Amino acid sequence: MLLVFVLATGIAAVWLRNLLASAMLLGIYSLLMAALWVVLDAVDVAFTEAAVGAGLTTALMLFAIWLTGRQEKPPVRKPWFPLAGALITGGLLIFGTIDMPKFGDPQAPAQVHVAPYYLENAEAQTGVPNVVTSVLASYRGFDTLGEVTVVFTAGMGVVVLLGGLRRRRRTDET
Amino acid sequence: MDVLGHFNYWVAIALAMVGLYAVTARGHLIKKLIGLSLFQTSVFLLFISIGKVSGGTAPIIAEGFTVYSNPLTHVLILTAIVVSVATLAVGLALTVAIKRTYGTEEDDEIEALDRAEDEQ
Amino acid sequence: MVLDVLSWITISAGAFFILAGGIGLIRLPDVFCRVHAAGLTDTVGAGLMLTGLMLQAGATLVTVKLVLIMVFLIFTSPTASYALAHAALLDGIKPWTKADRKERKP
Amino acid sequence: MFLAAAAALLATMALGLTRAFAGPTVYDRVLAVNSIGTKTVLLIAVLGFLMERPDFLDISLLYALLNFIGTIAVLRFIRQRRGPVGN
Amino acid sequence: MKDYFVLRVMAKLLIPFILLFGFYVQMHGDYGPGGGFQAGVIIAAALILYAIVFDVGPARRVAPMWMLVALSCIGVLLYASVGVATMMAGGQFLEYGVLAHDPAHGNHLGILIIEIGVGVAVAAAMLMIYFSFAGRR
């Protein structure tokens, strides 16, 4: 049920030509996604989605739209070629899912490799009942260091692109 | 081969198709970014669907539960969401910079301006 | 037992109010009326439903969190409605009046 | 009982979604975002009870706190933009 | 935006709660859902609310740009320095077990410290992004 909602919202967000409306639909999309993560047991992911989608994405989108333009121009070309490309890709991917294990199968390859080890040993080895946190920070700490660096680099990149630091320096001098 | 067993994967793929279409067919750069974030969420959905174990609960160890969903995919996606917002912000900043330089944010017009500059 | 029945009653009343709000969201003629429907029934419906959940939970930490959710909802929901209606007014959208209905009818 | 409440919430979310898709003005869509946000708060709380893991309530608490920031951002957007008034 | 009485009062009322909730999420991430990433975003959201209601200027005085840049650097470096510290203590990079006598305690401590690093870095980076968008006129 939620999945159908999510799909419909995604399609509508692409369909509409008014960018403000698209941004709003993206907000709804994020809300539905958060509910979906809760249904699929991914509580931490839902938490992140909630924190990010509730204020941050909408505000950023609105500011970007304010700085550029509000309305999208109608397309010049007919979009048959991209549509065909998307459909062919989707068809191939669906063909690929036929071999995949059934949804929620406890014997699926993803479930039997390292996850049981984490689930059994995480609390004893780290003293942290939330397995997601312990895997995030301890077992895959190196990974997370990389992710933090990516976020840091993105922040710096935006500041440099939009000239935040240069403006500041100029106000200091005057 | 049953429909319900693969429905989640199919929705993820449909979302990926929508995102791909938006990225390739739409000329407006912000619309392309929206398509990009749809594509990203489709990947998230695929991962979380793989990680779900039927009958399991959230992977926070508590008394009275024995079956938990796979925490590994949750970890990967959790960081990916924050990173996706950061990349979205970089994309928006690039769009703003392009708007400032070219005066437009439509794909075709930017290309036309580039071509005109080359010919000069 | 009494608590169970009471919580069922409140939860179903909350669900009824929320559904009514949803129908109002569809049926009412313009933004301002819809703000009214959504805002009013959201606070009442959400309040009733959270009260029902509280009765289910009993006196635990869960109840404290539910109370907090309710308090914050009661604070934020009208603020959002206010901001939204003000934004719509600023953008030059005229509130719907009886005259519009006469125009629309034929 | 929780299932019935969740079903009612889902139905209302569907109604809100139709308003968001059909909404003639942008504000209808903002309103739909807002109201679906409240429904999500309730839905997550009810789901937490349904799955007997009430510590999910943190998420709905977070949404209850943060959900109105988007709407206020819209108000600010409208105030700052002195451009043409359109759809 | 300052002339909206309702918004001003609501913002002043809610921002402390949002900040408090952010810190709660940061510290409670071991036992419930949450952690550094989420806490960072929540704290950033509180300041963004302040910036929306009271304009960007005062918000920038609360958290000036140089401070944000420094904070995000400090966050990343805190994370990395935990790794270096474990190496100094005789373990491998980011092997927290050597931080305390008991490996489990060391792990717990290491997780707490790096979560704080993540939270600081993410909050500062998000605020940097928002301020550079909002500061352009």
Domain ranges of chain B: 3-119
- Pick from B4, B75, B106: CB nearest A132: B75
Q: Is the pLDDT of residue A10 over 70?
A: no
pLDDT band at residue C103 under the 50/70/90 scheme: low
- How many domains does the structure of chain E reveal? 1
Tell me which chain E residue has its CA closest to the CA of residue B87: E129
SS (H, E, C) C17-72: HHHHHHHHHHHCCCHHHHHHHHHHHHHHHHHHHHHHHHHHHCCCHHHHHHHHHHHH
* Cβ contact A–C (≥3 pairs, < 8 Å): no
Question: Mean pLDDT across chain B, nearest whole number?
Answer: 80
Tell me which chain D residue has its CA closest to the CA of residue A58: D70
Is E122 in Cβ contact with B82 (below 8 Å)?
yes
Q: Are A136 and B79 in contact (CB under 8 A)?
A: yes
Instruction: Average the pLDDT over each of A65-74, B39-48, C17-26, C88-97 and give the range with the smallest value.
Output: A65-74
pLDDT score for D79: 77
Is A110 in Cβ contact with B13 (below 8 Å)?
no
- Residue E92 carries which side chain, given as an amino acid letter? Q
Which residues form the domain of E54? 5-134
pLDDT score for D83: 44
Is A63 in Cβ contact with E104 (below 8 Å)?
no
pLDDT score for A174: 40
Q: Are C56 and C7 in contact (CB under 8 A)?
A: yes
pLDDT band at residue D82 under the 50/70/90 scheme: low
Residues of chain A above pLDDT 70, percent: 72
Tell me which chain D residue has its CA closest to the CA of residue E21: D62
Q: Are D69 and E45 in contact (CB under 8 A)?
A: yes
CA dihedral sign, ordered B23, D37, D15, C28: negative
Fold of A1-73: Four Helix Bundle (Hemerythrin (Met), subunit A) (1.20.120)
Give the burial string for C50-80 (b: 16+ CB within 10 Å, else e). bbbbbbbbeeeebbebbebbbebbebbbbbb
Q: In terms of Cα–Cα distance, which of B38, B84, B37, B78 is closest to B58?
A: B78
* Cβ contact A–E (≥3 pairs, < 8 Å): yes
pLDDT band at residue A172 under the 50/70/90 scheme: very low
CA B114 to chain centre: 29
* Cβ contact D–A (≥3 pairs, < 8 Å): yes
pLDDT band at residue A173 under the 50/70/90 scheme: very low
* Cβ contact B–C (≥3 pairs, < 8 Å): no
pLDDT score for A116: 74
Contact residues, chain E, for C82 at CB < 8 Å: 6-7
User: Which residues 25-84 on chain D approach chain C with CB closer than 8 angstroms?
Assistant: 25, 27-28, 30-32, 34-35, 38-39, 41-42, 45-46, 49, 54, 57-58, 60-61, 64-65, 67-68, 71-72, 74-75, 77-79
Average pLDDT over residues E99-109: 75
Residues of chain B above pLDDT 70, percent: 94
Average pLDDT over residues E61-74: 86
pLDDT score for A6: 66
Who contacts B104 (Cβ-Cβ below 8 Å, separation ≥6)? Answer: B110, B113
Q: Is the pLDDT of residue A33 over 60?
A: yes
Size of chain B, expressed as the number of residues it contains: 120
Q: Is the pLDDT of residue D18 over 60?
A: yes
> B68: helix, coil or strand?
strand
Is E17 in Cβ contact with C79 (below 8 Å)?
no
Between A10 and E122, the more confident residue is E122
Who contacts C103 (Cβ-Cβ below 8 Å, separation ≥6)? Answer: none
Chains D–E, number of C-beta pairs less than 8 Å apart = 33
Instruction: Average the pLDDT over each of A69-83, D45-59, E54-68, E103-117 and give the range with the smallest value.
Output: A69-83
Helix (H) / strand (E) element for C75: namely helix C61-90
| Cβ of residue A127 closer than 8 Å to a chain B Cβ | no
pLDDT band at residue A12 under the 50/70/90 scheme: low
Is A51 in Cβ contact with D66 (below 8 Å)?
yes
Q: Is the pLDDT of residue B35 over 60?
A: yes
Q: What is the distance between the alpha carbons of residues A94 and A110, in angstroms, rounded to a whole number?
A: 19
User: What is the residue-wise DSSP string for D24-61?
Assistant: SSHHHHHHHHHHHHHHHHHHHHHHHHHTT-GGGHHHHH
pLDDT score for E105: 77
Instruction: Specify the CATH class of B3-119 in words.
Output: mainly alpha
Q: Are E98 and E91 in contact (CB under 8 A)?
A: yes
- Token pair listed for C52: 């029902």
Q: Are A87 and B20 in contact (CB under 8 A)?
A: no
Q: What is the distance between the alpha carbons of residues A146 and A169, in angstroms, rounded to a whole number?
A: 30
Contact residues, chain A, for D13 at CB < 8 Å: 5, 32
DSSP C96: P
Average pLDDT over residues E60-66: 83
Contact residues, chain B, for E126 at CB < 8 Å: 85
Is E14 in Cβ contact with C86 (below 8 Å)?
no
pLDDT score for E65: 83
pLDDT score for C105: 43
Q: What is the distance between the alpha carbons of residues D66 and C79, in angstroms, rounded to a whole number?
A: 12
Between B60 and A144, the more confident residue is A144
Between A68 and D72, the more confident residue is D72
Is B1 in Cβ contact with A64 (below 8 Å)?
no
> B107: helix, coil or strand?
helix
Please tell me which chains touch A, using 3 or more CB pairs under 8 Å as the contact test.
B, D, E
Measure in Å the smallest separation between the Cα of A82 and chain D Cα atoms.
24
Q: What is the distance between the alpha carbons of residues E132 and E46, in angstroms, rounded to a whole number?
A: 17
- Residue E120 carries which side chain, given as an amino acid letter? V
SS (H, E, C) chain A: CHHHHHHHHHHHHHHCCEHHHHHHHHHHHHHHHHHHHHHCCCHHHHHHHHHHHHHHHHHHHHHHHHHCCCECCCCCCCCHHHHHHHHHHHHHHHHHHCCCCCCCCCCCHHHHCCHHHHHHHHHHHHCCCEHHHHHHHHHCHHHHHHHHHHHHHHHHHHHHHHCHHHHHHHHHHC
Q: Are D41 and D47 in contact (CB under 8 A)?
A: no
pLDDT score for C102: 56
Is E33 in Cβ contact with B89 (below 8 Å)?
no
Q: Are C21 and C12 in contact (CB under 8 A)?
A: no
pLDDT score for D86: 37
Q: What are the contacts of B107-115 at 24+ separation with CB within 8 A?
A: B107/B27, B107/B28, B107/B29, B107/B32, B108/A76, B108/B27
User: How far is the CA of C72 from the CAs of C1, D68, E24, in angstroms?
Assistant: 30, 11, 16
pLDDT tens, position by position, A35-65 = 888 888 788 888 888 888 877 888 888 888 8
pLDDT band at residue A91 under the 50/70/90 scheme: confident
Is E105 in Cβ contact with A60 (below 8 Å)?
no
pLDDT score for B51: 80
Question: Mean pLDDT across chain A, nearest whole number?
Answer: 75
- Token pair listed for B61: 């160890």
Q: In terms of Cα–Cα distance, which of B21, B12, B11, B70 is closest to B40?
A: B12
CB atoms within 10 A of CB A109: 10
pLDDT score for E28: 80
pLDDT band at residue B5 under the 50/70/90 scheme: low
Q: Are E129 and A155 in contact (CB under 8 A)?
A: yes
pLDDT tens, position by position, B58-95 = 777 776 677 777 788 888 888 888 888 888 889 888 88
Domain ranges of chain D: 2-79
ipTM higher than 0.90? no
Residues of chain E above pLDDT 70, percent: 93
pLDDT score for C66: 87
Instruction: Average the pLDDT over each of B14-18, B66-70, C8-12, E113-117 and give the range with the smallest value.
Output: B66-70
Tell me which chain D residue has its CA closest to the CA of residue A10: D21
Is A51 in Cβ contact with D62 (below 8 Å)?
yes
Measure in Å the smallest separation between the Cα of D1 and chain A Cα atoms.
18
- How many domains does the structure of chain C reveal? 1
| Cβ of residue A148 closer than 8 Å to a chain E Cβ | yes
Between E15 and A12, the more confident residue is E15
